[in-house]
Amino acid sequence: MNDVSPQSGPKKAPFPFDNSYARLPANFSARVEPTPVAEPWLIKLNRPLAEELRLDIAALERDGAAIFSGNAVPPGAEPLAMAYAGHQFGTFVPQLGDGRAILLGEVVDRSGKRRDIQLKGSGQTPYSRRGDGRAALGPVLREYIISEAMHALGVPTTRALAATVTGQAVYREQILPGAVFTRVAASHIRVGTFQYFAARGDMDSVKALADYVIDRHYPELKTNDNPYLGLLKAVSARQAALIARWLHVGFIHGVMNTDNMTISGETIDFGPCAFMDAYDPKKVFSSIDQFGRYAYANQPAIGQWNLARLAETLVTLFDPTADIAVNLANDALGEYGTIFQTHWLDGMRRKIGLSTAEDGDLERIQSFLTLMHKGNSDFTLTFRRLAASAEDTQADGQLAALFANPEALSPWLADWRRRLEREASAPAERAKAMRDVNPAFIPRNHRVEQAIDAAIRDADFSLFEALLDVTSKPYEDRPEQARYAEPPSPEEEVQQTFCGT
Query: Which residues form the catalytic set?
Result: 259
Query: Where would I find the H helices in 408-497?
Result: 410-420, 427-435, 445-458, 462-471
Using DSSP's 3-state secondary structure scheme, residue 383 falls into helix
Confirm if 138 and 81 have CB atoms less than 8 A apart.
Answer: no
| DSSP codes of every residue in 458-478 | H---HHHHHHHHHHTSTTS--
With residue 184 as reference, give the H or E element that holds it. Answer: strand 175-185
| DSSP codes of every residue in 75-101 | TT---EEE---EEETTEEES----SSE
With residue 217 as reference, give the H or E element that holds it. Answer: helix 203-217
With residue 171 as reference, give the H or E element that holds it. Answer: strand 159-171
Confirm if 42 and 50 have CB atoms less than 8 A apart.
Answer: no
Question: Rounded to 5 degrees, what are φ and ψ at 42?
Answer: -80, 115
CB within 8 Å of 65: residues ≥ 6 apart: 5, 6, 7, 40, 41, 42, 71, 164
Confirm if 464 and 455 have CB atoms less than 8 A apart.
Answer: yes
Confirm if 387 and 431 have CB atoms less than 8 A apart.
Answer: yes
With residue 138 as reference, give the H or E element that holds it. Answer: helix 137-153
What gap in Å lies between CA 143 and CA 260, rounded to an integer?
A: 14
CA dihedral (147, 149, 154, 159) positive or negative: positive
What gap in Å lies between CA 117 and CA 500, rounded to an integer?
A: 19
Q: How many residues does the chain have?
A: 501
Q: How distant, in Å, are the alpha carbons of 10, 44, 128, 145, 282 from that of 141? A: 24, 10, 22, 6, 27
